[in-house]
Amino acid sequence: MRRIVSSVAIFLVLASSVAQAATPEDAIKYRKAVMETMAGHMVAITMIFGGRIDAPSHLSGHAEALAAAGTEITHMFPAGSDAGKTDALPLIWQEGARFQEIAETMATATAQLRDAVNADDRAAIGRAIKATGDSCKGCHDRYRQQGAAH
Ligand code: HEC
């Protein structure tokens, strides 16, 4: 019983620590990590789709993960995460609505990519890869420091 009580206590401590708002450092670290995973999935999808890697069954896993990350973007730029080791430009927080709109364009493109992969529709997959790539670039061109590493 005591053991159960103490593990519940530990759980509550962990749960309360994750429920707190992230520090700016962690918010920045997190969004960079998610951005990196998206870049990885895009490379993997493009290589499989282009036939350079013979693993068609892996396509849907990459597309699902990319679509999931696409829905996260609007939550990845909390107020206060504009300062520190970041290439995110202040414009993001100055024109929030336009930024959200671009983020949603990407969520739509990645959802279409996932659906096209699940439907095994090559033409639609090709279109959605292009739309997704354009949405990454559209946002980076306006809201990310030029000359950033990627
Ligand atoms: C709505 C805007 C937006 C969209 C859409 C977007 N990004 Fe980003 N991305 C950013 C911003 C802003 C940064 C800079 C983040 C920072 O340094 O805090 C960034 C940074 C990155 C980085 C560098 C991360 C690092 O380690 O510094 C990569 C890689 C990246 N994005 C890939 C992608 C890919 C791939 C897509 C499309 C599938 C994409 N991004 C879509 C805004 C966006």
> Which residues fall within 8 angstroms of residue 81, CB to CB, at 6 or more apart?
22, 24, 27, 28, 31, 88
Report the domain count for the chain.
Answer: 1
Asked if residue 69 has its Cβ within 6 Å of ligand 1, the reply is no
Q: pLDDT per position in the chain (150 positions), as tens?
A: 566 555 555 555 555 555 678 999 999 999 999 999 999 999 999 999 999 999 999 999 999 999 999 999 989 999 999 999 999 999 999 999 999 999 999 999 999 999 999 999 999 999 999 999 999 999 999 999 987 655
**Is residue 37 one of the residues assigned to a domain?**
yes
Domain extent for 75:
24-143
**Is residue 7 one of the residues assigned to a domain?**
no
Return the pLDDT at 67: 98
Centroid of ligand 1 to alpha carbon of 32 (angstroms)? 7
Angle at 145 between CA 140 and CA 147, to 5 degrees: 95
**Is residue 50 one of the residues assigned to a domain?**
yes
Domain of 130, CATH number, reads 1.20.120.10
**Is residue 75 one of the residues assigned to a domain?**
yes
Asked if residue 139 has its Cβ within 6 Å of ligand 1, the reply is yes
**Is residue 15 one of the residues assigned to a domain?**
no
Looking at ligand 1, which residue's alpha carbon is closest to its atom 3?
139
Return the pLDDT at 147: 75
d(Cα 106, Cα 64) in Å, to the nearest integer?
Answer: 14
Return the pLDDT at 79: 93
Amino acid at 1: M
**Is residue 107 one of the residues assigned to a domain?**
yes
